[in-house]
Amino acid sequence: MTYDLVIKNGTVVTAVSTTKADIGIIGEKIAAIGQDLSGKREIDAAGKLVTPGAIDVHVHLEMPIGDFISTDDFYTGTRAAAFGGTTTIIDFVETAPDETMLAALAARRAKADPKVLIDYGLHMTIGPTDIAKLDQIPGVYAAGCASFKLYMAYGLRLHDGELLQALTAVCDVDGMPVVHAENWDVICALIAQNVAGGRVEPHWHPRSRPALLEGEAAARVIDIADYVGTRLYIFHVSCQETVAQIAAARLRGLPIYGETCPQYLLLDWSLYDLPGVAGALPVCSPPIREQAQQTYLWQALAQENLQVVSTDHCPFALDEKASRLGNYSQIPGGVPSIEIRFGAVYQRGVQNGALTLNQWVAACCTRPAQLFGLQQKGDIAVGFDADLVIFDPERPFTVTPESLHEAAGWTLYEGMSFLGWPQTTLSRGEIIVHDGELLAQPGRGRFVKRAF
């Protein structure tokens, strides 16, 4: 048997095993995993790790927030993702008040489809004006949006009764609800007190969004989910206070899951005290916390009380961040990490001894696929999409705005050096990045219909 492409002599790492093997690819699919396979084309991966393509289930590309739109569009965002070893992302759809969910989904797909370099899915947002549209959810699920985003903060915030209604509707189709959990009333009160007192610097941003109240919001929505009988996934867990609530729910046997992100694992809140715009750049919500929280989050990943590392990639331009320095609560929130996530979690997780190789793959590739209904992705197995990364554990990478392919032109990880970086990224059998070179065209990525 001659395969179209064989990746030879690599160390194949999945969520459950590490073995020396060749991978045979026919067309877009993995066709064989074995020894001495031969192909029309062969790539020697001796000394390299071969992993599933990484999956980032939480990104905001060209996302409008207030007066601004996040800097990476579906082209630059998926390009940066591909360079970092990510082969699938999940972004968001929001409806206008007078728009149906299916119309909003079609419009978002029309924006993304011509630009994407990698495959993508979409979460459907259920905001307050969508509570009247909950009967549309079966149609949305059938159209391939198997997960639904609920906010407990911002203008899209749902009150507890609305959370109950939305969670019930998602449960009825056996979808996955995902939630931004923070206590919005407390945050608004603390911001008002700070602004009235002239405390307007970014220093006050994390102090307006206490970890204790992130945990309180998580506990509240977990209890509502328990009452409804639905599974639930908590976005961007930033602190031990929220981990504790997820861990307690899981001990009760509940299907509650959580993710954290590189900004919470690698950075700390001293960044908000940097002078000028530098202190505004790290503004994101939940905020980056004190350094001690990082250890808890790594432990939670190792103990599987958190299941996933995603990014919440949502940077804004430097001048947009700077334009609201007079009031931290008006700074557009969001930070980048779509490109560094896979390599950073390898270096800080595996190399530092916090995670095993298999836990790294589980958190960045396999569990995201399983939890979000990406049935052909996230694993190296016969019949799965040939989304693969040849990861060079000896490849050094120093982060600068120039070494990245993101559009923002700034990064919170500037100057950090990582040992271990993707060398080659394959999406459905096609080599899309190799040795720092982009080999794919915009529009080759596909919308992936997800289901459980």
- Residues near ligand DUC (CB under 6 A) are 60, 180, 284-285, 312, 314, 333-334
Q: Which window, 65-73, 179-187, 249-257, 360-368, contacts Zn ion (CB under 5 A)?
A: 179-187
Tell me: does residue 56 bind Zn ion (CB under 5 A): no
Nearer to ligand DUC, 94 or 312 (CB): 312
- The C-alpha angle with vertex 15 and arms to 13 and 19, in degrees rounded to 5, equals 30
Tell me: does residue 180 bind Zn ion (CB under 5 A): yes
Nearer to ligand DUC, 91 or 387 (CB): 91
Contact predicate 72/336, CB 8 Å: yes
Q: Residue 333 touches which of ligand DUC, Zn ion, none (CB < 5 to 8 A by kind)?
A: ligand DUC
Give one DSSP letter per residue of 230-282, joined into a string.
--EEE----SHHHHHHHHHHHHTT--EEEEE-HHHHH--GGGGGSSTHHHHTT
Nearer to ligand DUC, 11 or 285 (CB): 285
Tell me: does residue 241 bind Zn ion (CB under 5 A): no
Tokens 């931004």 identify what position? 180
The SS3 call for residue 70 is coil
CA 63 → CA 33, 240, 313, distances in Å? 40, 29, 10
Tell me how far, at minimum, the Cβ of 58 lies from Zn ion, in Å: 6
- The C-alpha angle with vertex 88 and arms to 86 and 93, in degrees rounded to 5, equals 130
Nearer to ligand DUC, 209 or 428 (CB): 209
Return all residues near 114 (Cβ < 8 A) that are at least 6 apart: 442, 443
In this structure, what DSSP letter does residue 132 have? G
Tell me how far, at minimum, the Cβ of 179 lies from ligand DUC, in Å: 11
Tell me how far, at minimum, the Cβ of 154 lies from Zn ion, in Å: 8
Structure tokens at 445: 């990525």
Cα distance between residue 423 and residue 400, in whole Å: 18
Nearer to ligand DUC, 236 or 377 (CB): 236
Tell me how far, at minimum, the Cβ of 236 lies from Zn ion, in Å: 6
Q: Which window, 139-147, 305-313, 337-345, 394-402, contacts Zn ion (CB under 5 A)?
A: 305-313
Tell me how far, at minimum, the Cβ of 334 lies from ligand DUC, in Å: 4
Nearer to ligand DUC, 156 or 173 (CB): 156
Q: Residue 428 touches which of ligand DUC, Zn ion, none (CB < 5 to 8 A by kind)?
A: none
Q: Residue 385 touches which of Zn ion, ligand DUC, none (CB < 5 to 8 A by kind)?
A: none
Q: Residue 357 touches which of Zn ion, ligand DUC, none (CB < 5 to 8 A by kind)?
A: none
Nearer to ligand DUC, 284 or 309 (CB): 284
Return all residues near 109 (Cβ < 8 A) that are at least 6 apart: 122, 447
Nearer to ligand DUC, 52 or 334 (CB): 334
Contact predicate 420/391, CB 8 Å: yes
Q: Residue 210 touches which of Zn ion, ligand DUC, none (CB < 5 to 8 A by kind)?
A: none
Helix (H) or strand (E) holding 196: helix 184-196
Q: What is the CA radius of gyration of the chain?
A: 21
Q: List the one residue from 130, 214, 312, 385 that touches Zn ion (CB under 5 A).
A: 312
Q: Residue 389 touches which of ligand DUC, Zn ion, none (CB < 5 to 8 A by kind)?
A: none
Nearer to Zn ion, 91 or 387 (CB): 91
Considering only CA atoms, which of 73, 6, 121, 116 is closest in space to residue 376? 121
Q: Residue 260 touches which of Zn ion, ligand DUC, none (CB < 5 to 8 A by kind)?
A: none
Amino acid found at 164: L
Return all residues near 295 (Cβ < 8 A) that are at least 6 apart: none
Tell me how far, at minimum, the Cβ of 57 lies from Zn ion, in Å: 10
Nearer to Zn ion, 216 or 387 (CB): 216
68-69 and 64-65 strand pairing: antiparallel
Q: Residue 284 touches which of Zn ion, ligand DUC, none (CB < 5 to 8 A by kind)?
A: ligand DUC
Q: Which window, 132-140, 172-180, 301-309, 384-392, contacts Zn ion (CB under 5 A)?
A: 172-180
Query: Does the N-terminal peptide bond of residue 286 adopt cis geometry, omega within 30 degrees of 0?
Result: yes
Q: Residue 294 touches which of Zn ion, ligand DUC, none (CB < 5 to 8 A by kind)?
A: none
Cα distance between residue 156 and residue 208, in whole Å: 19
Using CB under 5 A, list all residues that contact Zn ion.
Answer: 180, 312
